[in-house]
Structure 1
């Protein structure tokens, strides 16, 4: 059984909820691993600043390792970093916050296999259960806000919205995944049960 993992960490709701679930299962999250683009040093997909991720990691009291990468070398860079983390922390697995997209899971399982690790998906569930995950996130008293949206799927005005009961009711009226699994929206998290202290007002 997997006992010690690296967590692929974006700074958003999925990876923070995954961290919570792992800790609830008494799985040791030895480190976080975050991919950033070489060209601008911002996180892949979220366009978040490295300093924000560092602040979160410090609040968790978990070290974070950044993978500086680009489209051409993304997979190779990820695998090689996992091999390094395996040596440094004696991890036997790598965890991801993906929920139901099979292609994402297949990619994670492939890079884990190449690094001779087990892939772990603490949030994996059916697409129909995504709303329940969002409700769980809010009920656990995580504090988060939207930092990026796919403007073809959600209004740009949603940037800055807090994830709360009103958000749940609003997202239910949209033709999107409530958890934004297909990139409909991205978030940053600044408080919750995995944080030792609140990061901002």
Structure 2
């Protein structure tokens, strides 16, 4: 059996990559989540602690890795990215010895910084890569996610035009239209590829049960995040 490992945060991009892999018949043996110590060049940061609930709903075993490296630990961004990659590569090497790693699934859209490092890591492991979002039109990708039935919640914002009202909002057709307008006005990336916003997928066709949330919003006047106080799988 070919073992594919999905790099998984619970956000929309990694969830869509996983969904497309499953739709295309790839045998996904594990989900792998890295919990960054702080702001990160390599990883989705907010709400990764909910990846375990998502994995339970999806029905694929989750491997969790803590990264002790923060963006203030290394001054050069390239060295920072390499340092952040080390715990992930160690975990994948352990999985390779345990079950064999034949391929990596990643939700990269436009970031050369991330993609080149993941590709190089896969090559060192002797593994293939599957990146179904890579260099795709962001509006078409967002529309495909909505058409497939993804429920996407915005859990962090940090860009002009994205105020506190966006926190906890569902990324639906109306929100997408507004993001297209904000892209034209301020250059906000429609999928938040520049860190303008972060998401959590709470339901989708690849999940048996949706994730329920209780939360409070934290807003400093220019950016904000959801502080999730409780989360569960609905029956």
Q: Same fold (TM over 0.5)?
A: yes
1:138 maps to what in 2?
146
Please tell me whether residue 185 in structure 1 is matched to residue 197 in structure 2: yes
Structure 2: runs of 5+ lacking an equivalent: 74-82, 213-233
Give the structure with higher Rg (CA).
2
Task: Tell me whether 176-185 or 53-62 shows the greater mean CA deviation.
Answer: 176-185
Tell me the number of residue pairs that the alignment of Structure 1 and Structure 2 aligns. Answer: 193
| Pairs within 5 Å for 1:15-30 | 15-30=14-29
| Pairs within 5 Å for 1:4-43 | 4-37=3-36
2:95 maps to what in 1?
85
Please tell me whether residue 198 in structure 1 is matched to residue 210 in structure 2: yes
2:77 maps to what in 1?
none
CA contact (8 A) 1:147 1:188 kept: yes
Structure 1: distance between partners of 2:203 and 2:99: 26
CA contact (8 A) 1:31 1:62 kept: yes
2:115 maps to what in 1?
105
Please tell me whether residue 56 in structure 1 is matched to residue 54 in structure 2: yes
CA contact (8 A) 1:80 1:115 kept: no
CA contact (8 A) 1:79 1:114 kept: no
1:173 Cα deviation after fit? 0.8
Give 1:69's match in structure 2, choosing from 46, 67, 70: 67
Cα gap change, 1:19 to 1:173, in 2 (>3 Å): same
Structure 2: distance between partners of 1:3 and 1:184: 36
1:153 Cα deviation after fit? 6.4
2:125 maps to what in 1?
115
CA contact (8 A) 1:153 1:184 kept: no
Calculate the aligned-residue CA RMSD, in Å: 2.0
Higher relative contact order (CA 8 A, sep 6+): 1
Give 2:165's match in structure 1, choosing from 157, 168, 187: 157
1:141 Cα deviation after fit? 1.0
CA contact (8 A) 1:6 1:33 kept: yes
